[in-house]
Amino acid sequence: MTTRVGFVGLGNIGRPMALRLAKSDGIDLWVYDVVREPVAELEEAGARGADSVAALAARSDVICVMVRDDDQVRDVLGEVLGVSGDAQTVVIHSTVAPDTPAQLADVAARHGVKVLDAPVSGGAMGAAEGTLAIMVGGSDEAFAAARPALDAMSSYVVHAGPIGAGTKFKLARNLMHFVAFTAATEAQRLAEASGLDIVELGKVVRHTDAITGGPGAIMHRATTAPIEEGDFWMGVMEHVVALGEKDLRFAIELADEQGVDVPLARLSLERLGKGLGLG
């Protein structure tokens, strides 16, 4: 069966996502962007360019939206609803505010249109390679309708729950992402003050995180509640905390010697054990 897909927003991540759709069997793809160049590229890849969001929506059953912000998402949805049909599903890939998906779903439902919030993780590289993770919130019916398009653009899709769950999933994931970036800046300052090559430090971090899984390596428990005595995870996390607190203390001592401010390291030393369930 062929799924008629429209894709709105051919930017840094949207363009390679749409290219994956254009190359996929069983997808009849229409695209739209305010900039002509990426539309022309998609047309060369086999998609058809639409003159407006409304024109695209009139030809699509599943409409993927990857635009800049909440206001642009609302604008796109408004144009879609002007020509909507009962079978349509709008898939919001943009990362929006936590309450926005439910608000949009309520509006769309009055027109017989279903909405999914489905932000992505993996960046432009993952989009180009088809290895994105897509986190989806919405009804089972809407998820089933969009699944062929989602599978064509990704290698991991999770139906996280009702509308809004995909966005909350993405925000939790990116909280860790950008806190880790901030911690990386502390590590760079400490290494630089110690006379080390921080480019090489970055290479070591990427090399070892690819082996160990980075922060995700400790994310296997199904709860954040304190670990009970006798639980398998007690011994595992005790080992992690013992190593972590030792190395954090040494790093903080080095930072003090070098006059480098490392507030995240100090906070981590304080909170690591409790955070891992060792109250």
- CA–CA distance, 49 with 32 (Å, rounded to integer): 6
Q: Where are the alpha helices (DSSP H) in the chain?
A: 14-22, 36-44, 53-57, 70-81, 100-109, 123-129, 140-153, 165-193, 198-212, 232-258, 263-275
Q: Which of 23, 114, 170, 274 is catalytic?
A: 170
Q: Are strands 132-137 and 3-8 parallel, antiparallel or unpaired?
A: unpaired
From the list 22, 49, 151, the residue with the least C-alpha distance to 91 is 151
170 has catalytic annotation:
yes
Cα gap 9→127, rounded to integer Å? 14
Residues in CB range of 113: below 8 A, 6 or more apart: 80, 81, 84, 85, 86, 88, 89, 90
Residues 103, 167: Cα–Cα separation, whole Å: 13
Burial of 36 (0-12, 13-18, 19+ CB in 10 A): exposed
Which residues are the active-site residues? Answer: 170
